[in-house]
A and B are shown apart, each in its own frame.
Chain A
Amino acid sequence: MKVIVSYMTRPYFIVLLLMIGSLAGCSGMKTYSNDLDNNLHITAETDSGSVFSKIRTAVDIYKVNPDCTTEYDGTVQLDSPSVDIGIPSGRSSYLVFVFDSSGLFSANSSTMYDTLLRPRAGYRYDASVSYKEDIYNVVIKEVTKGNMKSRELDTKGMSACRPV
């Protein structure tokens, strides 16, 4: 399930949000501790379509427990063209790609795209993330190391998780 949040605010409210944002150290967001071998290569391309607006992209990573509950592991900001991270193999992780849109003359909004990913040992995963002209896309491919064969993975939300 994806959730989109849209705000229509007054300027002072935006200023207040900016102040709160500058105190992000107090928020629940934490940087994903990338201490595993990199197996997920993410390329991100964003274009808000206007000089007056901006798109920020990030991916929140959650551990999926056997009973399908999740634990927040951290966030990776996708503010460079490509990022490599390590996702545990042999168990499911829940990835939530977040597109935050903000602008001078438009409402702020946050759009999320989520999927379960269960990496297999011996494979690497290429995620192509884009946001252009109000259309976003996330494509994840599983690539066989060595012969470079790849297949696109179907995205599955948390509703596809079955307790073990």
Chain B
Amino acid sequence: MRSPLLFFIAIFSTVLYGCGHMPQTADEFRTEVPDAFMGEVEKFEVSRAFSDIGRSFEKMAPKCLDVRIKTTSQTNMSYQVIVTKWNPTVKISDQKAELHIQQLYEKGVLNVYEVPEKGYYMMVVDATPLGNNRSQVTMYRASVGNEVLIKAIKGWAAGEKIGCPDLAKS
């Protein structure tokens, strides 16, 4: 992972910390991201039923996002290893398909705030029906970084035969 991304994630997380805690649920994340510095809510329309989008998420999220990333950084004075487990969750109900992406730091990061079971929320994506086989997709995320991940999720939502994002480059 590139160091600037770590920097931006750190800032994004710090701003979410501002209210004294990290979001413990997807709903809390949805509520807090719009007001967070470097938080962004992106909405776009897709010509597919939300249930089809959900099925794409069900197929691709476990295949691509259930990963463990080991980042090693070395300078003159330090050597650091960070191990991060990515945990995707897909939920499909009558009116919404959801993709939650959480990161659990297993090594190298001191978790000061209470950590949700599957790690801190880093992105939540909702697909809701607009009628006539069209859906609105809403991404709650940081405004900087994760470009490859965002590109892949948009491709999955659109039904494109796109593969997995290389999360080491995200």
A contacts, CB < 8 Å to B: 1-10, 13, 99, 101, 106-107, 109-111, 113, 130-131, 133-138, 155
Contacts and interface: CB of A to CB of B under 8 A. Distances in A.
B69 interface: yes
Interface in B136-164: 148, 151-152, 161-164
Contacts of B69: 3-6
B162 A137 contact: yes
Interface in B66-80: 66-76
B3 A101 contact: no
Contacts of A138: 163
B74 A137 contact: no
Interface in B35-94: 63, 66-76
B93 to A, nearest CB: 24
Tell me whether chain A's interface is mostly helix, strand or loop, or mixed: strand
A137 B68 contact: no
A137 B60 CA distance: 11
Contact of A10 (B66, B68, B75, B169): B75
Contacts of A137: 161-164
A111 to B, nearest CB: 5
Interface string B15-28: 00000000000000
Nearest to B70: A5
A131 B169 CA distance: 12
Given A8-B3, A10-B75, A111 B70 contact: no
Given A134-B148, A135-B163, A4 B168 contact: yes
Q: Which of A7, A106, A133, A134 has the most CB of B within 10 A?
A: A134
A106 B70 CA distance: 16
A6 B71 contact: yes
B151 A2 contact: no
Given A109-B168, A136-B166, A7 B68 contact: no
Given A111-B166, A130-B163, A137-B161, 9 more contacts: A3-B67, A4-B67, A4-B69, A4-B166, A4-B168, A5-B69, A5-B70, A10-B74, A99-B166
A10 B76 CA distance: 9
A13 B74 contact: yes
5 contacts: A3-B67, A3-B70, A134-B170, A135-B164, A135-B165
